[in-house]
Structure 1
Amino acid sequence: MSQTSESSSARHDTETTDQARVKWTLVGPGLVAAATGVGAADLVATMIAGQRFGYALLWAVIIGTVMKIVLVEGVGRYSLATGNTMFHGWRELGRWTSWHFVPYIVIWGLVYGAASMSGAGLALSALFPGTSLEMWAIVSGIACFALTWLGQYQLFEKLSAILVGIMFVTVVGIAAITAPNLPEVIAGLVPRIPDGSFVYVLSIAGGVGGTITLAAYGYWLREKEWYTPKWMKVMRMDNAVAYAVTGIFVLATLALGAELLYSANVAVSDNDQGLVDMSDVLAERYGTFISKLFIVGFFSAAFSSCLGVWNGVSLMFADYIGHLKKIPQDDPRTSTGGKYYRAYLIWLTFPPMLLLLLGKPTGLIIAYGVLGALFMPFLGLTLLVLLNTKHTPKQWRNGWFVNTLMAIISAAFVYLCVSQVAEVF
């Protein structure tokens, strides 16, 4: 009896020590999720907002950061409180959830794979002038494939942390060099919507790490071996710190647009090429070294996003197949390195290379835009249901304040979805 008590006490002490150690470790699933969601497209959208409206939409970046903290906390809370994955929760709501998920993950993976590799390739071709964008895009895709094929989560997490560190130090450091106008920064904290900026407000708020990878957070918690409610406080800290870091990174991008483009009335491309255009502006203002440093940060953001999707969405696909085949959640076939995980890795990597070489078919781009716009309201609304009903233990359900925030967030994403779909057509 005494030995049992001592063993229990020792186990409790070990768990407490583990949690204390993790609390002070910034490297975690939240950092992976946030870094994965902030890719080249988000940087361009924020930079263009700075170019057109100065600091007027700075408040929208902060709101967007808070929105993601609320949503991802909900995903993490559901996962830890129930021990289930997000797809398990969606299936409990009915088979209709698969009607959206299946075409989304198939078409989205094909087009995103090409776009993500292209973003990383563009950065490398700018870093090494005269080299082929397509060559670097394919190299980037193969590198992501190789790094995630074996399913070494700890390696993947450390690589993500290194990339986040590089993109944070470079971009935030360069933004600091531009000496942001403090009175204008303070004025930008006051919510206002200049003429013609409403869609930008929603896009910026929705773009601070807002993709399918928000739902992947629960899978990364499992890979980290954070399974039960005892990790709830650690998860919340992990999530809040991670999105605060990426929020500062996106604010720095807005500052670059405001200081270097808006004040000088300089226009850049509204696609990934805009980041290369920004490097040219930096070269003229501060020299080649700073310009190259910015491109390194741009590559780190693009490649971390690519790496995170290759791992996280492949886990979601494996879980989806596991539910179709009624395979237990802890079966190796549905985990990192399992055969279903690897099957989706192949889909994300090699078919998209054909799109890089042949061009992206218009029909696929339209489907990608529509399905992508539908996902965020789908996530917000299903979380509202899951976290307010029997699907979640009563202790861990939403309170009135979180429900209010989630309802507002979901309504904003519904509006943004309608706007994006209308724009596509």
Structure 2
Amino acid sequence: MALVESARSATQRARATTVLLGPAFVAAIAYVDPGNVASNISAGAQFGYLLVWVIVMANVMAGLVQFLSAKLGLVTGLSLPEAVREKATRPVRLAYWGQAETVAMATDLAEVVGGAIALNLLFGLPLLVGGVITGAVSMALLLVQDRRGQRPFERVITGLLAIVAIGFLASVVISPPSVADTVGGLLPRFQGAESVLLAAAMIGATVMPHAVYLHSGLARDRHGHPQPGPPRVRLLRMTKVDVGLAMILAGTVNLAMLLMAANTLRGREVTTIEDAHAAVGDALGPVAALLLAIGLLASGLASTSVGAYAGAMIMQGLLRKRIPLLWRRLVTLFPAIVILAAGIDPTRALIVSQVALSFGIPFALIPLVRFTSDRTLMGDDTNHRVTTMLAWLVAAIISMLNIALIYLTVTGS
């Protein structure tokens, strides 16, 4: 009898723990969006295992950043945009909102274009039609959150995340990459301006600004604003678990994308996602190619809805303005539709959009680190000095990478 009671108690504790998980997995969909697909596959096809270290570094940095974002929301009861609004003057708020809105549009560009490419690969639909369908489906996903609440939305997004993982891990399972070459890729180095461009795109696609803004609000809205004490301590501990699991999953999928390209596409003429899809089909068979396209579609559908959700949270937090969901969706969808209608190379547009995101990261990271290091705001949950140093190092690395990117691109080195 005691054994049964013990097992029942353990099950109840496990269920209670599982209930606390979720917000980080919604934020994590941003780390496996079509921009990641384009950047990682391009990096693997062009440079083999050279940039494995970028994937690992970016996901470690993302884990730290996402925890700090969630902690800000739980401890202060404010989302990051709301905290910026409280500290900034009106002109600064407007300027800050302008750059954040630009980042949101760049995010949506990658995700809608990725969904359009996937629908073209799966069903032969024109890219413009696929972009419109992707936007419409993302609206339906947003309505789930708007009408049913956050938890059903989390379940839908987590399910799509699982589909993404299966789609991209399949190729690595079918044709395992070289372990020695993978380990060799952990040594940080570049090979010219194009490798720096791709590294910046990979980081921009991983440490995504809108996910940083969003996670603070997701954690706050899901768990509330607990007062100091054991409940908050337990919640922050479980938030670390939530972020850790989500980042491990996202990092594994990102690494799988690059390793698949390095192992299967290296030396082939691969300049677009369509080329990669065809090459995977030739090398690994139609099932692997089909799973890749399905993973790309799930990535586009989930990430564009999460991106639009983040855009609404940013606007409401900074400007205290809410606009109807349909109009909010159309604002960020418009640039992607224009790109598709203009016939611009969608894969290149994806990569450039990720570079644009990389430039937006410091605007999210700098206030996040400042706020979570402020004892008057965070109290006993202020960052440890080592945590603050690591967070500033993350911001510095990204900023220096962008400076190097500009120099190498301008000089053609």
Q: Give the TM-score, by structure 2 length.
A: 0.83
Deviations, residues 315-338 of structure 1 (Å, cap 9, x unaligned): 22222332x7xxxxxxxxx6xxxx
How far apart are the structure 2 equivalents of 1:254 and 1:186? Answer: 13
After superposition, residues 112-151 of structure 1 pair within 5 angstroms as 112-129=107-124, 131-149=125-143, 151=146
1:63 is matched with 57
After superposition, residues 219-234 of structure 1 pair within 5 angstroms as 219-228=217-226, 229-230=232-233, 231-234=235-238
2:72 is matched with 78
How far apart are the structure 2 equivalents of 1:22 and 1:424? Answer: 54
1:251 is matched with 255
How far apart are the structure 2 equivalents of 1:424 and 1:343? Answer: 38
How far apart are the structure 2 equivalents of 1:53 and 1:187? Answer: 13
The letter of the residue matching 1:146 is A
Are the equivalent residues in 1 in contact too, given 2:31–2:206 (CA < 8 A)?
yes
Are the equivalent residues in 1 in contact too, given 2:23–2:222 (CA < 8 A)?
yes
1:345 is matched with 329
Deviations, residues 2-50 of structure 1 (Å, cap 9, x unaligned): xxxxxxxxxxxxxx99885353369611111111243212222112221
Residues 318 and 359 (structure 1), Cα distance of their counterparts in 2 relative to 1, 3 Å cut:
farther
How far apart are the structure 1 equivalents of 2:130 and 2:198? Answer: 31
2:398 is matched with 413
Residues 112 and 24 (structure 1), Cα distance of their counterparts in 2 relative to 1, 3 Å cut:
closer
Farther off after superposition, 225-234 or 342-351: 342-351
Are the equivalent residues in 2 in contact too, given 1:282–1:291 (CA < 8 A)?
yes
How far apart are the structure 1 equivalents of 2:188 and 2:380? Answer: 35
The counterpart of 2:270, out of the listed 268, 271, 285, is: 268
2:341 is matched with 357
2:215 is matched with 217
Are the equivalent residues in 1 in contact too, given 2:135–2:333 (CA < 8 A)?
yes
* Structure with bigger RCO (C-alpha 8 Å, 6+ apart): 2
Measured after TM superposition, the shift of residue 416 of structure 1 is: 3.4
5+ long unaligned stretches in structure 2: 1-9, 227-231
How far apart are the structure 2 equivalents of 1:400 and 1:199? Answer: 32
The letter of the residue matching 1:117 is V
How far apart are the structure 2 equivalents of 1:250 and 1:347? Answer: 29
Are the equivalent residues in 2 in contact too, given 1:60–1:205 (CA < 8 A)?
yes
1:329 is matched with none
Are the equivalent residues in 2 in contact too, given 1:61–1:204 (CA < 8 A)?
yes
1:13 is matched with none
The letter of the residue matching 1:125 is N
SS at match of 1:180: coil
Deviations, residues 286-343 of structure 1 (Å, cap 9, x unaligned): 2222211111111112222112112222122222332x7xxxxxxxxx6xxxx55554
Q: Does 1:98 align with 2:78?
A: no
Q: How many residues align?
A: 385
Residues 187 and 420 (structure 1), Cα distance of their counterparts in 2 relative to 1, 3 Å cut:
closer
The letter of the residue matching 1:123 is A
How far apart are the structure 2 equivalents of 1:419 and 1:70? Answer: 24
Q: Does 1:172 align with 2:156?
A: no
Are the equivalent residues in 2 in contact too, given 1:370–1:424 (CA < 8 A)?
no
How far apart are the structure 1 equivalents of 2:318 and 2:16? Answer: 30
1:283 is matched with 281
Farther off after superposition, 147-156 or 40-49: 147-156
What percent of counterpart residues are identical? 19
CA RMSD of aligned residues (A): 3.1
Farther off after superposition, 407-416 or 312-321: 312-321
